[in-house]
Amino acid sequence: MERLIEGYKRFTSEVFPQRRMQFHLLAESQAPEFLFITCSDSRIVPDLILGTGPGDLFIARNAGNVVPVTGADVDGATATIEYAVEVVKVRHAILCGHSDCGAMKAALERKSLHNLPKASRWLSHVEAAFQHRQPLNPADSESAELAALIRGNVVAQWMNLREQPSVARAMGEGRLAVHGWYYDILTGRIERYDEQTRRFVPLIG
């Protein structure tokens, strides 16, 4: 806890005073252009990776960057998406998976989750990843099989995202674009899903 408290001290003494006007404006309202849906994994820090700051990203996080499609359930992921699209009016929705994802490891290795009944139920939402598993990439070396499945999960959840009523409506009206990304922790590279080729390609270059 001491580490967090020290960080907060630096924020109040150094960061906040320099950006007081920005926080004053953000206290009144928010208007982020991007909805960023990613995993709860502590190694994924969107603002660090993308050079964004307060007010730039509307972030939704959960294990496995899942977008459930079961209509009868009420869950935080789809409620957040609905709010971001209908109220915040984001222009882009980004579904971002990542290398070495624990949720996908469990799905691939079929590990027993008998002590984690809620996690086990939640991971039923990633089963579609196996239908969209991507070709093995030699650059992923010994993690190639897992990485192929993680990319497949990005595709599956990207498709689920597009099926959300608020998202489908906004896309139809031309006010929302939906993207699928894969972030590699080891190299820092991001790949985007190309719908035409049904493959992942570098985000830049």
Q: Is 30 helix (H, G, I), strand (E, B) or coil?
A: coil
Q: Virtual CA dihedral for 63, 164, 132, 134, nearest 10 degrees? A: -70
* Confidence grade of residue 72 (pLDDT, cut at 50, 70, 90): low
What's the pTM?
0.94
Q: What is the mean pLDDT of residues 173-180?
A: 98
Amino acid at position 189, single letter: R
Give pLDDT, residue 71: 61
Of 115 and 30, the one with more pLDDT:
30
Q: Is 54 helix (H, G, I), strand (E, B) or coil?
A: coil
- Catalytic residue set: 39, 41, 43, 98, 101
Give pLDDT, residue 114: 80
**For 108-135, b where at least 16 C-beta lie within 10 A, e where not — what string?**
beeeeeeeeeeeeebbebbebbeebbbe
What is the rounded distance in angstroms from the CA atom of residue 113 to the CA atom of residue 106?
8
Give pLDDT, residue 120: 87
Residue 17 backbone dihedrals phi, psi, to 5 degrees: -60, -35
**pLDDT tens-digit series, residues 182-203:** 999 999 999 999 999 999 999 9
pLDDT above 70: residue 26: yes
Q: Is 40 helix (H, G, I), strand (E, B) or coil?
A: coil
Structural domains of the chain sorted by starting position, each given as residue range(s) with its CATH number in brackets: 31-202 (3.40.1050.10)
Amino acid at position 69, single letter: V
Helices (H) and strands (E) in the chain, counts: 9, 6
- Closest-CA residue to 140 (of 97, 194, 189): 189
**pLDDT tens-digit series, residues 73-132:** 678 999 999 999 999 999 999 999 999 999 999 988 877 678 888 988 898 999 999 999
Summary mean pLDDT of the chain: 94
Portion of the chain with pLDDT greater than 70, in percent: 97
What is the rounded distance in angstroms from the CA atom of residue 55 to the CA atom of residue 62?
20
